A and B are shown apart, each in its own frame.
Chain A
Amino acid sequence: MVGYPQVLTDPSYKGQIVTFTMPLIGNYGVSEDQLESDGIKAEGVVVFEATAPSHYKSVMSLHEWLAAEGVPGIARVDTRALAIRLREHGVMMGALGPEEPGELLRRLKASPRYDEVNYVDLVSVKEPKEMGEGRLCIGVVDCGVKRSILAEFLKRGVRLKVVPCRRPELAFDCDALFISNGPGNPRLLGFLAERVRQYVEYKKPLLGVCLGHQVIAMALGADVYKLKFGHRASNKPVRDLRFTGKTYITVHNHGYAVDPKGSGLKAWAIQPDDGTVEGLFHESLPVLTTQFHPEASPGPHDTRWVFDMFVKLAERHAGR
């Protein structure tokens, strides 16, 4: 219900129109520290009401921000009815604009299908870059990584080598590798899965979040399937079956899920409502993944310990 600046700037939303069911969006405006990337990544915004902000940090309103970035938005939509429709029929292609519905539909049909576009190329870094200082190096394969994920690593005193999604091997020399979140259909990332499979042979620590989780699973031979009801909220429980035995409130944004059968991967985290796998570990390799977002942002911080655990794992492997 809060966190629209983070959501709209999350590169995972590239290529998507975002509908908010919370009817008032824009209440606290927007400020730089709330952004998850260099700008709005969502293609369009649907709200019931775009409100005028009231907050000491706000530099502009939602409306002004969308206008400044050239992102269309629409208000006074029955977003609950829309959410129920999306739930019942699944996520679907959509269009918004001032044109007649017939014209919008025509243009929509002429557009490429979301599932067929490789969005990660649009949001990934073009050239490798280094961030932070520390003895431990973690390679970040940027398929659209959120700033808050980088921040979680940097907070823990590690050096990051951020590399383009297409060239993960540039970071294979680091002590550990992280495959980031990102937009689009994971099945289009066969090239990345192939590289990850090669990396796994080094037996060095590997972490994946969201899209990264799915890519790692595919790399190790697991299946990815479409969920009947996608998980898209910051209020979902995840039960940790292995490390703490506790249930956490976590942030989800995924329409696909992993079936780890035959991959050597096992679930350490599940979603108790539908049993969806929400985190994987490998029986013999230092591989850890989360389908949910441990960095949160927006959402509860309850699972940020996943970063602690991974950094410790990497340190142990690196002998530091």
Chain B
Amino acid sequence: MPDVKKILVIGSGAIKVAEAAEFDYSGSQALKAFREEGIETVLVNPNIATIQTSKLLADKVYFVPIQRRFLVEVIERERPDAVACGFGGQTALSACVDLHDSGALGKYGVKVVGTPVSGIKRALSRDLFQKAMREVGIPIPPSAAAKTPEEALETARAIGYPVVVRVSFNLGGAGAFVARSEAELKARVYKAFAQSAIGEVLVEKYLEGWKEVEFEVVRDAYDNVAAVVCMENVDPMGVHTGDSIVVAPCLTLTDEEYQKARNISIGVAKAIELVGEGNVQVAVNHAGPEQYAIETNPRMSRSSALASKASGYPLAYIAAKLALGYRLDEVLNQVTKRTVAAFEPALDYIVVKHPRWEHDRFGISEGLGPEMMSIGEAMGIGRSLEEAWQKAVRMIDIGEPGLVGGRMFKELTPEEARRCLAEYKPYWPICVAKAMYLGASVDEVYSYVKADRFFLRAIQRVVEAYKALERGEYDIEELKVLGFSDRQIAEALGRGEDEVRRMRRRPAVKKIDTLAGEWPAETNYLYLTYGGVYDDEETPTDFLVVGAGVFRIGVSVEFDWSTVNLAQELRNRGFKVGILNYNPETVSTDWDVVDKLYFDEITRERIVDIAEKEGGVTVVLYAGGQIGQRLYKELEAAGVKIGGTRPRSIDMAEDRGKFSELLEKLGVRQPPWFAARSIEEAVKLAEDLGYPVLVRPSYVLGGTYMAVAYNKEELVGFLKRAAKISGEHPAVVSKFMPRGVEAEVDAVSDGVKLVATPIEHIEPPGVHSGDSTMVLPPRRLEEWAVKKMAEAVHRIARELEVKGPLNVQFIVYDDVYIIEANLRVSRSMPFVSKATGINYMSLVADVLVNGKLAVDEEVVTLRPSKWWVKSPQFSWSRLRGAYPRLGPVMYSTGEVASNGAVFEEALLKSWLSATPNKIPTRNALVYTYDRHHAELLAQAASLLSTRFQVYTPEDLGEEAAEMLKWRKIDMVMTAGDTPDRDFHIRRTAADTNTPLVLDSTLALELAKAFLWYYNNGKLEAAPW
């Protein structure tokens, strides 16, 4: 039916704040939908950790930057007849518009499928959007676009404060803020302009306390349309949807309000000529009938991924079909397989999406607002609001067992709780719970937090139940319906979790079938709930692969890749496989990829519930990263069958003391370390060790989990400032070797044999491995070191009888030293798998199924035939108020990778794939206030100065920040952790999207690569 033969799909690149795995999910679905039609697919996405960058999903994959010159080269090579712009987030959409406007699409005869570029522009430019809305009579909030800060001030005066300022052509609301006075507006308006690609902002009436709802709209080219899901923000207008707690279906709207908002959404979709899927945000007055259209995204978004998972309606798949020209009533509902896609799902459950923030880690103190800052999200499903909400709080994995009863809940003082509400801090529901626990009424809370009382009352009910529980008056069934976990109840009662387990009945397994049971559905999408007693029947599975849970710094799409790939490899071997996970962004929570999806908590309680339902299922804990590691002991004790490496071995690797003993026995070295129970002891033992040392407290205040100390003063200063140190909470202090090379080995073992890939880092020890640039094959390491590393890993694998993946980190200095070993998948395994062509999860599946690796040699060391480099992606520009830096704590949010015939090419293509990196052509600012980095940065500066002006902040004085603001500086290279000296410079660089290099070794490597490039080095867009 479609006349498309070959289609270019543009991905979203690295994971960053506001662009995460949801685009892996939507891209994967689109590729599947295109492929079903026999269309050849070409995917451009340098995010190597994604599932979509797989030869099984796309016919051709390009790991190159999503920039015009590379995209044009791909088009030239591949000659696709169409391009799909709506599946790679704002990144892809902007790239598409740019390709169109530059004439490249016209030149090569590539047509845009789905929403036309004219419609995309109408949706993205505030100005065009408002004009379009006025034309069709859809109400919008009073507002005006401004092209200069002065104009913005004038407009605000005319509209009246408070106002909200939004940036045109941005993503995730970057640069947006609320100003309550002219002074507040003046202070922040310049940054907003800096973040707009077209130098335009919108000043708009701030609708304080209004509700914000969002409809996901699907529309075909013949104007058949459905508003598939209504989602309601628990947070009022003014908080970015990505930072809001969101419920589905919409809970507080009357039918009249619901239909009005739906009509507006459909009207907006028509006005922007939507073909495919888009979302529309609508502001709903909480005290009157007014509603306004706020904004629209003419593409798959974070919300549409959430909506797909919330409703069971596969929006991206349907959108892809509609883009090809299918009618909405021609496409089958993929859940029921019996009904068509032209319908609006009926939900017989409640979902609550909860964001996870990392404000402590980044030293951010600001409250929530119109700019998205959350790092991850989780979705709880239940049949009561309280059940779904408490599940969601547990799922974001901040240590709280629900809305009540956790460490944060208990430690909040009345004053802290009040301030948390007044400043509208992350995790405000816990503060609400505490305030209510201390006696605050719903109305008192509402005076701070303008969430609908309907939601505040849900918290109140949980608090009341908790207080009764503390008094020993409780109804176990009612507590479970309100979403209390066994542990939460047990702690309040001072009893054991197992005791509570015996007191309660089993939860019911329910299906998500899009039609609330009205029609038979062949769905395998499940959750557990106490809001019911009867199971929807299901057949048992052989394996349950436990996913990665909520994304956080250090856990991202790479662990979703392992989860999905392992599940698929097991399926390929003829087994029935289920996945347990709860992150709505991901491919692993796509019911399409497994035999059965449990969308539920990753806790001992839930896994035991599932294991009881499933009978003899084998639970695989090491594919989702760290979250599974914590569960080995508990699940083993509960009698759950665990696949792969034994719990005892996991414990040996996780426990520092036992691990050191093991290494000693194996004759493998490790940097000397000790555990100190007081500052005095730390100082004394550090003298013996010799400085510098790496300090890792077990009880952290604020966000600094680790630091390097070069002398006694730094050690004492850090321990006093950042940690609580005691016998109960010792600090681990280890010898630090800054001049070594950091390296790691990704391996799979069957307990006897080993397949291993050694990886080298560019950044020196002291920079977290997740923030390091990785190189394959090793470039600086000598042969003896590589060999010794592989041997060490082999010894560990044999001794611990590892049956599955493991990652071991090293420092290579005068000898090979082990920093740590993790007997689970690692962040780099998708990179290693794709670079070497050996899928590690296939190896792991062999071990799980056959008990052994299908290799002949004892140790197989893999080396790719090209150079491969993986670079971190930071989100500094989004994390307002954070000081950009590198150190032993991880800060990056994502990663990208590329390859090349020469190292420089691989490095540059990889580095350029992370935003906002660009090759500098004029002024650079190169400096450091850290003597350890001075020499390398001086070398980098001297190399660059052969091409253009290189400054230090001292050269420029006040001018430095001004030049950054006006984008007259192409690049900032610096290193060290000196916020007292250069917070302003680094922050301004981040706010203005100026490329920032934060390590001296990387700076020098990049400077060399730039020179290689200036001297006619070629960056080729070659397929994988």
Contacts and interface: CB of A to CB of B under 8 A. Distances in A.
Interface of A: 1-3, 5-6, 21-24, 27-28, 31, 33-34, 48-49, 51-57, 76, 78-81, 83-84, 87, 229, 232-237, 239, 245-249, 272-273, 296-301
A296 B259 CA distance: 10
20 contacts: A2-B253, A2-B254, A2-B255, A3-B258, A22-B249, A22-B346, A22-B348, A27-B251, A31-B254, A53-B454, A56-B288, A78-B534, A79-B348, A80-B534, A237-B342, A246-B223, A247-B224, A247-B342, A272-B342, A298-B258
A168 to B, nearest CB: 30
B249 A1 contact: yes
A235 B254 CA distance: 16
B419 interface: no
Contacts of A81: 532-534
A56 to B, nearest CB: 5
Contact of A272 (B256, B329, B385, B516): B329
A81 B533 CA distance: 8
Given A84-B536, A300-B262, A233 B518 contact: yes
B1014 interface: no
Contact of B519 (A56, A79, A229): A229
Interface string B248-266: 0111111110110011000
Nearest to A77: B532
Contact of A54 (B249, B252, B327, B532): B252
B453 A54 contact: yes
A2 B261 CA distance: 13
Contacts of B222: 245-246
Contacts of A247: 224, 327-329, 342
Contacts of A299: 255, 259
Given A28-B254, A56-B287, A56-B288, A23 B340 contact: no
A2 B250 contact: yes
Nearest to B458: A51
Given A5-B255, A21-B517, A81-B532, 15 more contacts: A2-B258, A24-B384, A28-B253, A56-B286, A80-B510, A81-B533, A83-B517, A87-B519, A233-B515, A233-B516, A234-B344, A237-B226, A237-B340, A273-B519, A300-B262
A55 B251 CA distance: 11
A48 B530 CA distance: 11
A54 B457 contact: yes
A31 B253 CA distance: 13
Nearest to B341: A237
A297 B520 contact: no
Majority secondary structure of chain A interface residues (helix, strand, loop or mixed):
loop
Interface in B258-316: 258-259, 262-263, 286-288
A59 to B, nearest CB: 13
Nearest to B533: A78
Given A55-B252, A235-B343, A246 B224 contact: yes
A264 B255 CA distance: 38
Interface in B685-721: none
Tell which of A87, A237, A298, A299 has the most Cβ of chain B within 10 Å: A237
B344 A34 contact: no
B766 interface: no
B491 interface: no
Nearest to A57: B254
B255 A54 contact: no
B532 A80 contact: yes
Tell which of B338, B340, B510 has the most Cβ of chain A within 10 Å: B340
Contact of A1 (B226, B346, B384): B346
A298 B534 contact: no
B670 interface: no
Majority secondary structure of chain B interface residues (helix, strand, loop or mixed):
loop
Nearest to B535: A81
Contacts of A80: 348, 383, 510, 516-517, 532, 534, 536
Given A49-B384, A80-B532, A21 B254 contact: no
A99 to B, nearest CB: 21
Contacts of A56: 286-288
Interface string B209-248: 0000000000000111011000000000000000000000
Given A249-B342, A273-B340, A28 B519 contact: no
B508 interface: yes
Given A81-B532, A247-B329, A273-B519, A23 B349 contact: yes
B423 interface: no
A211 to B, nearest CB: 21
A49 B346 CA distance: 17
Contacts of A2: 249-250, 253-255, 258
Contacts of A24: 251, 350, 384-385
Nearest to B348: A21
Contacts of B328: 237, 247
B531 interface: yes
B439 to A, nearest CB: 20
Contact of A52 (B349, B457, B508): B457
B345 interface: yes
B347 interface: yes
B452 interface: yes
A6 B454 CA distance: 21
A264 B258 CA distance: 39
Interface string B324-356: 000111000000001110111111111000000
A297 B258 CA distance: 11
Nearest to A244: B223
Tell which of B286, B348, B385, B510 has the most Cβ of chain A within 10 Å: B348
A54 B349 contact: no
Nearest to A301: B259
Contact of A273 (B327, B338, B347): B338
Contacts of A298: 255, 258-259
Tell which of B253, B258, B342, B349 has the most Cβ of chain A within 10 Å: B342
Contacts of B223: 246
A249 B329 contact: no
Contacts of A239: 329, 342
Interface in B509-538: 510, 515-520, 531-534, 536
B517 A23 contact: no
Top 4 nearest A-B pairs by Cβ distance?
A54-B454, A298-B255, A81-B534, A3-B255
B142 to A, nearest CB: 22
Nearest to A29: B254
B348 A235 contact: no
B517 A273 contact: no
Contacts of A249: 226-227, 342-344
A31 B262 CA distance: 21
Interface in B848-874: none
B10 to A, nearest CB: 30
B254 A34 contact: yes
Interface in B469-518: 481, 508, 510, 515-518
Contacts of A55: 252, 254
B215 to A, nearest CB: 11
A80 B250 CA distance: 19
A169 B385 CA distance: 52
B253 A272 contact: no
A5 B256 CA distance: 11
B532 A78 contact: yes
A49 B350 CA distance: 12
A301 B286 CA distance: 22
A237 B339 CA distance: 9
Contact of B518 (A49, A54, A57, A87): A87
Nearest to A23: B383
A233 B249 CA distance: 15
A2 B284 CA distance: 16
Contact of B531 (A48, A87, A234, A272): A48
A51 B534 CA distance: 23
